[in-house]
Chains A and B, each alone.
Chain A
Amino acid sequence: MELALSDDQVQILDAIDTLAKPYASVPIHDISFALTSAELTRELAEGGFLDVAAMEELGPETAALVVERLARLPFAVEAAASALVRPLLDSELPRPLCLIEEGALGRAVRYLAPGATVVMVGSGGVRSFVATADHVAEAHDESIFAYPMAVLKAQPAEADLRQYNVPASEVLTQWRIGLAAEASGLMAAALAATVTYTSERKQFGLPIATFQALRHRLAEAQVVTNGAYWMTMKAAATRDSGDAALAALHAQEAARRVTYDFHQFLGAMGMTLEHPLHLWTYRLKALTSELGGRGANALAAAEAIWG
């Protein structure tokens, strides 16, 4: 048992904080629903932060830490699939990576755009292709989930798909770890923003965070957010399919529990684009539907644990 971060891990997270400093808040007057930055993404890729999983002394657990940390930024960065799944397949695959379950044609996919690598996972194994304009329906810049998303409307013929020798179960495990890591970071950032707002906003002559009805629900949000972090780290360290399914399940349960509360505590301000809260909470909403949602992740966990 060793549950503290290594010196290397602390240094990597510090380096990310330094690199991401200019991106730590929303540019004034920017009211985009999904905030992205090609510059930030490029800097992270060039700095090698998305490739830490392949380094022996760092591994998937450091990749999960990186994903968690980046998810706290108001800017959306495709990190989870690149950092946790790509090393299993081919570390040179063009980014961003879009993970989809087989048969997900017609669904909106995070970061899907021409040039992205689409990785399909299912009974047919693990296969990929690079998306072109033909595959992507009306590539929105914005979506209702604060991620850049687009609908996958077609895929290449079987023969044109690249097939991998990696079992689908392994990719699913890493996908779940990535999902849990990202959700943990999103919840941490959303909680912090809500804590700041409720500590400053006064009604009845007092900061609204002095009212116990809010305090207790915020404290519960801290408990489940902290829990999501630990479940993620355990799954990343053990790479066990049951741990990964439990981590994804817990993250989705937690996300569901906190998102409406956070908006609630901001009153009408929580409905504006002026306040950045939605950048984290609406991404969380997207994550709660991934991999079949809580029910499917729970079934995967039950199968892995009890058979």
Chain B
Amino acid sequence: MNFDWTPEHQAFRERLRAFLKAELPDNWESIAHHGPGSAEITAFSRQFCGRLAAAGMLFPHWPVSMGGKGLDAWYQTILAEEMWAAGEPRGAQYMNVNWIGPTLMKYGSEQQKKTLLPPIVAGNAIWCQGFSEPNSGSDLASLRTRAVLDAGEYVINGQKIWTSYAGLADNCFLLTRTSDDRKRGITILIVPMDTPGITVRQIPSIIGEGDIHEVFFDDVIVPESARFGDEGQAWEIISYSLRNERLGIPRYHLARAALDRAVALLKARGDWKGEAVKIEAAKAAALTETARNACYAIVDKRVKEQPIGPEASTARYNVVMAERAVSEFVVEYLPQALIDAEPYLKMHHQRGIVAGIASGAAEIQLNIIATEVLELPREAR
């Protein structure tokens, strides 16, 4: 085993850092302060991602046939670590790079690829993911937003919720019900967010701006060509997509960066003394590094094109523990005013609760580990 970066990987990281240094404006912290889903970062990202693309670093891990450089998944990981540590100037467009683009490439029609990929490749496309509904969270397959095919058009009625970035998105990757079969009755439609009949409401939250929304669909009409894949193919397609998404945000890295920042502040204030604070900081670091290693083990598999199984759930649960430990440390040892004044600490404090819920709740990960890793007899239902 070898836990060192290759010179090529390290050089890529240095290039990214240099790029960020050159491209982020002096007032970047005041923009980043609003969070990745905010209007401020979204507007910024539409310029920034174009420049990142021009520098060949928006999607280095995509195959050459997609306009990428065909580099291994470590590059995607390094890219994500550096971007998130800098306050995620890609805004919502990190999703395009991680899974929307690859999913379009794999399952899209020629027409869809022709129209939907170029804006992504140009770094100017905001997507949202319309999966969850008020009554369908962890039990996603129970979703009820209906799409009825009538004379070459789908008519959509229903409601989505918790939809990140919906307020500013150009397109929605929407899960709809086209028949009663629990999983095979679900169909993906790609719906432009300016289609008449769509209403978006931001949900006031404690996790920062622009993140979660309600999206209502009232007789929204899209052509049959908006269907992505076949009717009933959604479950297969999103299983592929979510595998790519699960490692999307390098939260272990963000958590460690926040922890290092917190320790630096404590030192500057003369508060890095006594045993208690050091012990707690080290415990939090043990969790961020455990999570990092568990995530890296998965990237390593992806690089070798080995199938990724339930170990992704193990990694996710490690990440949840790490995020929480760092948030708790920050709240316990730093004065409130300082957390508020430090954009990255504040963001961490606000978002420490997210990892346990978004893209599959922590308990669902434990269910998967129990059944698929430990192979316990199935839960009584």
Q: Which residues of A contact B (CB under 8 A)?
A: 1-6, 61, 191, 195, 198-199, 206-207, 209-212, 215-216, 218-220, 222-223, 226-228, 230-231, 233-234, 237-238, 243, 245-246, 249-250, 253, 294-295, 297-299, 301-303, 305-306
Distance of A294 Cα from B74 Cα, bound (Å): 33
Contacts of A4 in B (CB 8 A): 1, 300, 304
Is the Cβ of A306 less than 8 Å from the Cβ of B366? no
Given contacts A2-B1, A222-B369, A253-B286, 4 further A-B pairs with CB under 8 A are A5-B1, A218-B376, A222-B314, A246-B286
Distance of A306 Cα from B271 Cα, bound (Å): 13
Nearest CB of B to A46, in Å: 27
Contacts of B363 in A (CB 8 A): 216
Distance of A256 Cα from B263 Cα, bound (Å): 26
Distance of A234 Cα from B294 Cα, bound (Å): 11
Contacts of A294 in B (CB 8 A): 279, 283
Nearest CB of A to B163, in Å: 29
Distance of A138 Cα from B180 Cα, bound (Å): 74
Is the Cβ of B1 less than 8 Å from the Cβ of A250? no
Contacts of B289 in A (CB 8 A): 231, 234, 243, 246, 250
Nearest CB of A to B149, in Å: 40
Contacts of A234 in B (CB 8 A): 3, 289, 293
For the complex of A and B, the 3 pairs showing the least CB-CB separation, nearest first, are A230-B293, A227-B290, A298-B282
Is the Cβ of B370 less than 8 Å from the Cβ of A302? no
Distance of A3 Cα from B375 Cα, bound (Å): 24
The segment from B4-12, B219-227, B330-338 that touches chain A is B4-12
Contacting A209 at CB < 8 Å: which of B287, B300, B376?
B376
Is the Cβ of A237 less than 8 Å from the Cβ of B1? yes
Distance of A301 Cα from B289 Cα, bound (Å): 12
Most buried by A among B279, B289, B303: B289
Distance of A144 Cα from B340 Cα, bound (Å): 51
Contacts of A207 in B (CB 8 A): 376-377
B93 located at the interface, meaning its Cβ lies under 8 Å from any Cβ of chain A in the complex: no
Residue-wise, chain B 113-157 has the 8 Å CB interface mask toward A (1 for contact) of 000000000000000000000000000000000000000000000
Is the Cβ of A2 less than 8 Å from the Cβ of B318? no
Contacting A219 at CB < 8 Å: which of B74, B296, B321, B369?
B369
Distance of A142 Cα from B339 Cα, bound (Å): 53
Query: What are 24 A-B residue pairs whose CB atoms fall within 8 Å in the complex?
Result: A1-B5, A1-B6, A2-B300, A195-B374, A195-B376, A210-B379, A215-B366, A215-B379, A216-B367, A219-B317, A219-B373, A222-B374, A223-B314, A230-B290, A231-B286, A231-B290, A231-B293, A237-B3, A249-B282, A249-B286, A298-B283, A299-B278, A301-B282, A302-B282
Contacts of B375 in A (CB 8 A): 195
Contacts of B318 in A (CB 8 A): 223, 227
Distance of A306 Cα from B278 Cα, bound (Å): 9
Contacts of B198 in A (CB 8 A): none
Nearest CB of A to B38, in Å: 32
B95 located at the interface, meaning its Cβ lies under 8 Å from any Cβ of chain A in the complex: no
Contacts of B293 in A (CB 8 A): 227, 230-231, 233-234
Contacts of A61 in B (CB 8 A): 1
B269 located at the interface, meaning its Cβ lies under 8 Å from any Cβ of chain A in the complex: no
Is the Cβ of A302 less than 8 Å from the Cβ of B278? yes
Nearest CB of A to B299, in Å: 8
B64 located at the interface, meaning its Cβ lies under 8 Å from any Cβ of chain A in the complex: no
Is the Cβ of B279 less than 8 Å from the Cβ of A219? no
Most buried by B among A61, A223, A245, A250: A223
Is the Cβ of B279 less than 8 Å from the Cβ of A299? yes
B285 located at the interface, meaning its Cβ lies under 8 Å from any Cβ of chain A in the complex: yes
Most buried by B among A199, A230, A237, A238: A230
Residue-wise, chain B 247-288 has the 8 Å CB interface mask toward A (1 for contact) of 000000000000010010001000010010011111101110
Distance of A212 Cα from B368 Cα, bound (Å): 12
Contacting B296 at CB < 8 Å: which of A1, A250, A295?
A1
Contacting A210 at CB < 8 Å: which of B278, B374, B380?
B380
Is the Cβ of A219 less than 8 Å from the Cβ of B281? no
Nearest CB of B to A15, in Å: 19
